[in-house]
Structure 1
Amino acid sequence: MSNPFCSFANGSRLVPDAEDRIYKDLRWAGLIWDEGPDLPGPYGPYRQSERLSLYKEHADKLVREGKAYRCFCSPEALEEQKKRAHEAGEPTLYPGTCRDLSLEESDDRAHRGEPFAIRFKSAEEPIKIQDLVYGRFMKNEPEDDYIIMKRDGFPTYHFANVVDDRHMKITHVIRGAEWLVSTPKHVELYQAFGWEPPQFAHVGLLADRYRQKLSKREDSANLQYYKDGHILPSALLNFVVLLGWRAPPTKGEFSLKFSKGDIVVSLQKLPFLQEKHLERLIEKEDKTYAEHLLEEKHFIKPLREAIEKVQQAKDEDLLMAPGKLMTGEIGARLPAPRIFDERFRRDLLRLVTSRRVMLERPADRFVDAMWKLRYYIWEVPQGVLEVAVREGKLDPVAPADRAEQLGKAVSFLADKFQAVDGADWTHDGLGKVVKDVMGNTEYWEFFETSKNAQTNVYTPLRWALLALEKGLPITTTMEILGKEETLRRLEVAKSAAAMAARPLAKP
């Protein structure tokens, strides 16, 4: 990005903090610039309101050369003329009242303080222009003698953009297709000054699902929607770049081949891009300080906030917490959940991205992820484990009538894992223990109905550690929980199995 030029051609419509908000939004999106109002460079000043003398100089030049003229018609008179032309079914063009005033009379009236605008003398025949997207373009009728400098001394967009682009050495103008019909005006101005016009490329307008011009009230057009939804700036940029444009097959190349026609903004691809960019960010080993901040702001912080919402609901004895999580199904909160450790970030990402970004409420994915994360953050209540056995959720490995044998199997597993050295408490190290247990005939004696070695080991473990919740590999889960918490949960599971083995008390 070369520079963030501020186009405030209408002095009466300036919004005090608009410029600062533009800078903040650009920086949030990860866009940087070489020069601008906040970063002086060779082509300043960068606010149109500070370049009025430049516009006046060039407008005066056109007046002196007879290519433009002062118009002393009052706004009221012009409005009345338009009204009469409209009622008569005639074009509402400027009638040329001041077109043929002599320069001497024009100078004299201006010197006496009579208000005036400056109009450009358009060509009598329409001109052809070349566009990189639409090819040759020519209007059916010649241009009106349009205003280039208003009565308040500010330039119109048509005039200011030509003067600015020339003085800033702009070579390509890429803008919305709505400006294609105005391009002949701009090319005429370039020709009047004897300047070579830049190349023009007019791209389709962004449209909503009804193919109407995208409104600022639409979420997809509001940057705050993406900020509040914790969408990564890189994911949003990736999404925007692909609107109406396809990357060349060769990496590193750039093409000006844009789609013709309006571009329907569909956010359906955004969740996919968000997940890919988040995955790339988290898996990057040599993160910059800025990238660490991005990860914290758009991933870790909203997760911690979601945890606090669930905990608050639990502390207030509410039946249900955000994310449709029953507070009775989670126990005490772990003092320092290891799932947030840097080395487990990829595993945390897998659990969170199992909940896709909901376009209506993108930030809700963090609360929704609490279901998958719950037993990495909170303990598993003994009652939840007991109910799972009684309801036959461990069938056919451990039916309800074999709860006592299930307890013995868990005790066997606890003894094996108790013997694991702390340095070997890793996914691979724990995997070796599990493999040894699978081949142990003593362990097999606890089961009758199932003859699958993996199921006999993994089902009791997943029940004891996660209340049968699917997700990460069980050995990865054990590594994340740590040895102390894993063994504690196995002890709780033994007690749950013992309780499930007892007959329920009659009401």
Structure 2
Amino acid sequence: MNQISPRSGHVLLRRAVPCAWAGKLFRTSSAQRLQCFSCASAQRIADRQVREDRFKLPDSPCRTRFAPSPTGYLHLGSLRTALFNYLLDRATGGQFILRIEDTDQTRLVPDAEEKLYEDLKWAGLSWDEGPDIQGPYGPYRQSERLPLHAEHANKLVREGKAYRCFCSPEALEEHKRQVHELGQPTLYPGTCRNIPLEESDRRAAAGERYAVRFKSSETPVMIHDIIYNRFRKKDPEDDYVILKRDGFPTYHFANVVDDRHMKITHVIRGAEWLISTPKHVELYSAFGWEPPKFAHLGLLVDQNRQKLSKRDNSANMAWYKESRILPVALLNFAAQLGWRGKGPQGNVMDLQEMVANFNLQFTKGDIIVSLQKLPHLQDKHLARLAPEDRKVSPAPQFQTHVLAPIKSAIAAIEESRRHSLPTIPSSIPASSLGEPLQTPRILSSPFEADLVRGLLGTRLNLDDPTARFSEAVAKLKYFIWQIPLDVLVARLKELELGSRLPVSESEPVPVKACDDKEKLVEAIGYMLEKVSAVDEGSWTREGLDKLLKDVLIGDGRMAGIYAGVVDDIQKLVFKLMRWALVASEPGLPIPHTMHVLGREQTLQRLGVAKSVVEEVVNIPEGHEDEMTEQ
């Protein structure tokens, strides 16, 4: 029955539908909707599975390579590339190959190759095959593989997949200039593309110079990438050169031929090479070869999203080395530039932990390099160099990255003191240091962890990374030098032992050490007596901790001396000990301090402290300054 539309007045033609048919139609359309929903859900699951499969490690061993050009030095981006290739091969039980791509002979830097070996070894990355150690698929410098490249270029020429180009560089430049002025693409005009092979052979045999060009496909090539999935350029490739007029291959051609002959299974490199990969895949296809798996890492950029400059400190390997950044901390930092892996302690991983947790889950797109993450990683790895467990030897890098720079800072301070400079490195007043200890125990075994703890008490300043070693020496100065008497007296005048009883909730009244000089003399004397009773065999961190808690704090004598005066006896004991041993300087816990100083030095300092407080008792009020002049 027809109806009039209430909105438009148009006649709506409707056809009566029997109820049975309506029910059937409803059931059918519902089933179709469910089927469509089911299909879409299945597709999403399938797509997710494909993505997850892309990120999984292969079941078979991988052969990866790092192939730098010696036209410059290793930088952060190339170190990251080397690291990810290394991790993939180690995680799958494969091989990591180092290949030198030196086909651009005009731009070679004389010492770049040797410096490359040095920097990679410094970082802790080793290779299984390379120019310095050789291997079954050498030689490993591209300039030493020219016959192989020429053979493969000639093969493509014979098969009609490439051709000799006799155009002079001058003619090609003139063509580029002309088409550029017309606003057209500067592609090769195809001048030599259709020269018959016989004529080409004859001209080559006559000594006419030529390059070899690849006959590119007329349609853009699709490639598959672990990170970017599918990629295809908008336009087809030009007929690009694969063998130059000097007989050297171009990067693209040598890259493909050498990767194939070295049996490379995976290529991890920067995203700047993604646009060139269709050329490589087309070459693989021309030879009938299966290409390796590709993964193109996001470009490293600065805070302004500009490509990281090699002159930038954050890119410069030399800066990291000069700044005493730990190699493992730098590798950990580089690994976080685009990789999503985590270890047992989150983002903090050494090389073995990176291998154990490696996968191919990389971030797509540019990676902003923020050095603000580096101090955290540096400190975490510094702490691992010298474990608290004395049975575990410190890592070899402890000597070069902690002890040596600390000793250098001490030597610089002593040199300044010899020249009577008022302020010495790290802004320590020269008057705050006494005579140097003959053999500071903190610079020897087994006190490495204590030295590291002192270093971690400073902050890594990225504007002056080595300054923290002088700052650490300043914090640990009384483990290295004696305390001048005037410093000890001055700190005693300032020393507060706690809050006076009864403690006021609004304004606690501090108890100064010199408020009751007789109590102070008795307390220091008692401490010296009890510490003297500990023999050398019991002079351990655990033994000294027990002495402090069970005797000096727990036996009630100190509480009796200051009964009704101080609210916290433990704090009082620790403050008195810290004053006597290190002139109240903050730092290591008191048991650690006593252990590091050693029994002889601890007793000597407690003896000096006892003499100081006894003299304070005998000096009239207001004349304490006379004490340091005697």
The interval holding the TM-score normalised by the smaller chain is: over 0.9
- Superposed counterparts of 1:347-366, under 5 Å: 347-366=450-469
Please give the secondary structure, in 1, of the residue aligned with 2:294: strand
Partner in structure 2 of residue 438 of structure 1: 553
1:307 and 2:307 correspond: no
Please give the secondary structure, in 1, of the residue aligned with 2:476: helix
Look at both structures and tell me which one has the larger radius of gyration over its CA atoms.
2
1:371 and 2:486 correspond: no
Please give the secondary structure, in 2, of the residue aligned with 1:174: strand
Partner in structure 2 of residue 268 of structure 1: 372
1:239 and 2:340 correspond: no
The Cα shift of 1:280 comes to: 2.0
Partner in structure 1 of residue 584 of structure 2: 468
Conservation of the 8 A alpha-carbon contact between 2:300 and 2:366 = yes
Conservation of the 8 A alpha-carbon contact between 2:341 and 2:361 = no
1:75 and 2:189 correspond: no
What's the CA shift string for 1:298-330, capped at 9, x where partnerless? 111111111111222222222222112112112
Q: For 1:468 and 1:80, how far apart are their aligned partners in 2?
A: 80
Conservation of the 8 A alpha-carbon contact between 2:98 and 2:129 = yes
Q: For 1:285 and 1:144, how far apart are their aligned partners in 2?
A: 66
What's the CA shift string for 1:39-66, capped at 9, x where partnerless? 1211100001100000000001111111
The Cα shift of 1:400 comes to: 3.1
The Cα shift of 1:226 comes to: 1.4
Conservation of the 8 A alpha-carbon contact between 1:389 and 1:500 = no
Choose which of 434, 441, 450 in structure 2 pairs with 1:338.
441
Choose which of 455, 480, 488 in structure 1 pairs with 2:571.
455
1:228 and 2:322 correspond: yes
1:414 and 2:517 correspond: no
Q: For 2:571 and 2:335, how far apart are their aligned partners in 1?
A: 48
Q: For 1:213 and 1:268, how far apart are their aligned partners in 2?
A: 18
Residues 441 and 171 (structure 1 numbering): CA distance in 2 closer, same or farther, change over 3 Å?
closer
Q: For 2:537 and 2:458, how far apart are their aligned partners in 1?
A: 33
For structure 2, list consecutive stretches of 5 or more residues without a partner in the other structure: 1-85, 87-95, 345-352, 499-509
Q: For 1:233 and 1:35, how far apart are their aligned partners in 2?
A: 22
Conservation of the 8 A alpha-carbon contact between 1:6 and 1:48 = yes
Aligned partner of 1:299: which letter? Answer: V
Q: Which moved more, 1:317-326 or 1:93-102?
A: 317-326
The Cα shift of 1:37 comes to: 0.6
Q: TM-score, normalised by structure 2?
A: 0.77
Residues 114 and 221 (structure 1 numbering): CA distance in 2 closer, same or farther, change over 3 Å?
same
Conservation of the 8 A alpha-carbon contact between 1:407 and 1:493 = no
Please give the secondary structure, in 2, of the residue aligned with 1:105: helix
Residues 397 and 376 (structure 1 numbering): CA distance in 2 closer, same or farther, change over 3 Å?
farther
Provide the aligned C-alpha RMSD in A: 2.1
Residues 126 and 167 (structure 1 numbering): CA distance in 2 closer, same or farther, change over 3 Å?
same
Partner in structure 2 of residue 131 of structure 1: 225
Aligned partner of 2:174: which letter? Answer: E
Partner in structure 1 of residue 503 of structure 2: none
Q: For 1:329 and 1:394, how far apart are their aligned partners in 2?
A: 23
The Cα shift of 1:392 comes to: 4.9
Partner in structure 2 of residue 423 of structure 1: 537
Partner in structure 1 of residue 18 of structure 2: none
Partner in structure 1 of residue 519 of structure 2: 405
Q: TM-score, normalised by structure 1?
A: 0.95
Conservation of the 8 A alpha-carbon contact between 2:539 and 2:595 = yes
What's the CA shift string for 1:237-296, capped at 9, x where partnerless? 1111121011167973532221111111112222222222222232287878xx754211
For structure 1, list consecutive stretches of 5 or more residues without a partner in the other structure: none
Conservation of the 8 A alpha-carbon contact between 1:382 and 1:493 = no
Conservation of the 8 A alpha-carbon contact between 2:339 and 2:363 = yes
Residues 286 and 347 (structure 1 numbering): CA distance in 2 closer, same or farther, change over 3 Å?
closer
